[in-house]
Each structure stands twice: as structure tokens, then as C-alpha cells.
Amino acid sequence: MHPIPIVLDGDPGHDDAMAWLLAKSRSMLEILAVTTVAGNQTIEKTTYNALRICTLLGISAPVGKGAARPLAGVRMNAPSVHGESGLDGPTLPEPDREASPLSACELMAKVLRESPRPVTIVPTGPLTNVATLLLSHPELKEKIARISLMGGGIARGNWTPAAEFNILVDPEAAKIVFSSGVPITMAGLDVTEQALILPEDVEKIRRIENPVANIVWQWLDFFYGFHKKLGYAGAPMHDPCAVAWLIAPEIFEAKELYVEIETQGRYCRGMTAADLRGGAAPNVTALLGLDREKFVELLREAVEAYG
Ligand code: RIB
Ligand code: CA
């Protein structure tokens, strides 16, 4: 079986880092490129974090710096969740390379053009780069096999009652992506808030005691700090769900749904509005549940592999 060629596009971000760790751990996935977008923090910080994560994890793919701001609307960051650096907690190695001279969009276009097989894009931040790619290179849409994204929430939001952060930062970009016709797997809050890594799971990772485990348990501990104050039993591993579905779709419950993105609305801008009646032709595979223990085991195995 050929490996699945993928592009990781994110705003690291503790859970983006965990998603990239999971992607690196499986030879069934071939990371062709990493691209960054502003979201959890500014584009400068998310790009610096991406370079440090790739250095730590041994991801040798080029890193393309992406959009500094959404297609429309105002910039939003999340220092309350990920800290001022966007990846607060443990000290990380300095990057072992510079970012690519190509922008995120042009790096994505290059790898799509050159890949012998269609590429899966794994966005775990706002969808600005993916929308820009679709707008500026429509001829490459057929080279996108699937978009497996973390974003949205059918039952609820997290940054507003209606909207999840990644979609809310750039609803116009999300609307372009969700209406593109490209197959989409949507790991929204419905599943990602079930994908909790509990303190006892973190302790098992801490006991692995390899160079990556020594960083990862501190990332998880920091990320849990924000969520613990909100009453969460563990740290929600939002972004790794978008990768885990590619690796082990059988541990997820999914439903084919039609999802529209609200770009207007005083209270609902950024909402992923799903047709649960089944009337409209589906445009996404929406993940609604998972086997949490099997999911956590994927992450633990990924960390252990660095032994
Ligand atoms: O709402 C959760 C999402 O927002 C995750 O991707 C997290 O990294 C932040 O970007
Ligand atoms: Ca993210």
C-alpha cells in the first residue's frame, strides 16, 4: 500500500503539535509539507513554533509561512489557551532550518503539482490558507484527495455559543472550503471534546521518559491547565482527531451531513450549521463520537516510538 501523502496546515498550538506528532508516527502517512496560519497566535509565532516542533519531532518536510490575517474580518488570537508564545510550557530546541521561501499557498500548490497521487490536506487552524489555495489554483482542486480538518461544532461552539475558534477566525475561508466539493472530514467539537487525555494518561506518557515524551507531557499539562479551570476532566485533543481519523477511522462514529457556514449574523457568525433532517446532499463526513481509550493509545504509541 502506498502511504497517504498529506500536508499539515495549522496554528501551533499544543494540540496542533500533538496532531503533527501523531502524523509523524505512522509510515502510512507521508508528510509532504507543513504550512502555518495565524490563529492561536500571530503568524510569526505559529511559524516559529512549527519550525521548533518539526525540529523536535524530526519532520523534515518544508515549512511554508501562511496568512497573517483572515480573508475578511479581524485578527483573533488565543493567548488564554496556548500562552503568549502559542506553545507555552517546556523549552523547545531552536529550529534546525528556516521556513521555505514559498508561502503556505505556493508550497501547497507545489506539492500538489508534484505529487503522483492526490494529496490529503489536514488543516487544524483557521482555513485561510486552504481557501487561498482553492481560489488561486482552481486547476489543482482535483489533486486534493480529501480535507480532514479540525473545526466547527454541530451542537455548539467554544469561542461563542455558536462558533468554534478555527471557523470563527475566518468564516469566509471556511465557506469557500465547505462549498468546494472536495471530500471533507470534519472533526468538530462534537467529537473533539470527547477526545480527552486525562491526567492519568499524561502520567503514563511522562513515565515513557524519552526526549519527546519529556516535552509532550509538559505540553499536555499546560494545555490541561486552561481546560481544568473550565471543569474539563482532561485536555481535549481537538487537532489530533483530524489525523487519527486518517489512521484509524474505525474508532470514530461518523455521519454524512450537509454543513453550511454562517458568515453573517450578529450572534451566529462562524457557525457550522448542519442539516440534521437529512434533506440536503451531504458535503462532509462529520465525526460525532470516538473510542477515547483507543484514541489515547494512538497518541501514547506515537510518543513511545521516539524511544
Ligand atoms: O477550537 C479548537 C481549535 O482552536 C484547535 O485547533 C486549537 O488548536 C485552536 O486552534
Ligand atoms: Ca489548531
Read off the pLDDT of residues 20-66 as tens digits, 9 standing for 90 and up: 999 999 999 999 999 999 999 999 999 999 999 999 999 999 999 99
Q: Is the shortest distance between the CB of 124 and ligand 1 below 6 Å?
A: yes
Choose one of 75, 164, 166, 226 to mutate for the ligand 1 pocket test, by most ligand atoms within 8 angstroms of C-beta.
166
Average pLDDT of span 103-123: 98
Identify whether the C-beta of residue 129 lies closer than 8 Å to the C-beta of residue 38.
Answer: no
Please compute the mean of the pLDDT values over residues 211-230 and round it to a whole number: 96
More confident residue, 161 or 1: 161
- Among 8, 87, 124, which residue has the most ligand 1 atoms within 8 Å of its CB, making it the best to mutate? 124
Q: What is the pTM of this model?
A: 0.98
Task: Find the mean pLDDT for residues 82-109.
Answer: 96
* Enzyme catalytic residues: 238
Q: How far is the CA of 2 from the centre of ligand 1 (A)?
A: 30
Whether 176 and 134 have beta carbons less than 8 Å apart is answered as yes
Say if ligand 1 is within 6 A of residue 150 CB: yes
Asked if residue 10 lies in contact with residue 20, where contact means CB atoms within 8 angstroms, the answer is yes
Q: 39 CB under 6 A from ligand 1?
A: yes
236 Cβ below 6 A of ligand 1: no
Positive or negative torsion for Cα 69, 51, 18, 200 = negative
* 8 Å CB contact between 172 and 132: no
Assess contact for 195 and 239: CB atoms under 8 A: no
Please report the atom of ligand 1 found closest to the CA of residue 158. Answer: 1
Specify whether the CB–CB gap between 262 and 154 falls below 8 A. no
Atom 10 in ligand 1: residue holding the nearest Cα: 125
Predicted pLDDT at 78: 87
| pLDDT reading at 307 higher than 90 | no
| Residue 119 pLDDT | 98
User: What pLDDT, in 10s, does the model give residues 267-300?
Assistant: 999 999 999 998 899 999 999 999 999 999 999 9
